Amino acid sequence: MSSLVPLVATDYIQSNFKEHTITANGIILAKYFSVTDHYRSEAFVNQHLLNIVLKGEKHLHIKSVDIVVRAGEAFFLARGEYIMSEMTAEDEYACLLIFFDDTVALNLFRSIPTLDVTKNMKSDGFFRVKLTDSLQAAGEALLRLTEEKPKFADELLILKLQEIILLLASSDQGEEFSTYFKSSMFGKADLALFMNENFTQTWSLSEFAQRSGRSLSAFKSDFFKLYATTPMEWLWGKRLEKAKFLIENGWSDIGEAAYNCGFKSHSHFTRMFKERYAQLPKKLQG
């Protein structure tokens, strides 16, 4: 039986890779590596993330999307997402992780000249980057910062991240990237981060409102503006979606998935699951 508990991404990195980490104002840069030939993990992405893959490959699951990332690629992931990852190859995996908060995202967004992002684009919070020679060189410069930690490393980190954003905005992916950046990473409401981080909690709506710093009426109003549905409808949908994934992929048995995703009883979970997916959860177990 698995007892997988989602990690808060930045907490885990700062605790386990401290010697390979630089923290600037609103930015965390870390070299992450693993020599384990098979592992799975789940993490809540509490800040925006740029991941530059240095070595090996990793399988990612974000919402209902399965993705494989390899050396020579990078990806952006908007904060508020939870991600499950798996490494199955025998090769060592290594990457650079650059986390940045909303203030940094705003400054980066403003640094892109003559930005025109009128195009509507559906986004799952994920954006894959093809590393050009220039982007590869910028990534190598960031890697040296984690190894050498020179004087003014904080200032250099900010400049290098800005360089990457400008290189991407001027690349063949520029228009698509700029639209993604605006729609997924810039100006997201704090309520979205709070709800994505806490949707498995068994709090009452009043507790959700209070913990988010709002009155109950303001919470319901802000929530509807953000999601165009009621808090309870959204909560049950998110809980069922996550539980389905855990069971379907063998991460948890039915009872454990129900409990870890915020359901108070097995029968309540089974009834709601059948209503939503027109099948019993045991059907997912083969």
Residue owning tokens 């992931």 = 77
Least confident of 17-26, 30-39, 111-120: 111-120
Give the total residue count for the chain: 286
Residue owning tokens 């199955």 = 88
What's residue 112's pLDDT? 75
pLDDT band at 46 (very low <50, low <70, confident <90, very high): confident
pLDDT band at 125 (very low <50, low <70, confident <90, very high): confident
- pLDDT over 60 (residue 114): no
48: closest CA among 154, 144, 185?
185
* CA-only gyration radius of the chain, Å: 20
What's residue 198's pLDDT? 84
Mean pLDDT to the nearest integer, 268-280: 92
- pLDDT over 70 (residue 124): no
- The residue with greater pLDDT, 142 or 125, is 142
| Domains in the chain: ranges and CATH | 7-185 (2.60.120.810), 190-285 (1.10.10.60)
pLDDT digits (tens, 9 = 90+) for 221-259: 999 999 999 999 999 999 999 999 888 888 888 999 999
What's residue 90's pLDDT? 65
Q: What is the pTM of this model?
A: 0.65
- pLDDT over 90 (residue 92): no
| The two three-digit tokens of residue 18, written as one number | 């401290």
- pLDDT over 70 (residue 33): yes
pLDDT band at 88 (very low <50, low <70, confident <90, very high): low
CA 86 to CA 50: how far, in whole Å?
A: 18
What's residue 208's pLDDT? 86
**Which residue type is seen at 285?**
Q
- pLDDT over 50 (residue 2): no
Beta carbons within 8 Å of 219's beta carbon, 6+ residues apart: 191, 205, 208, 209, 212, 231
What's residue 113's pLDDT? 67
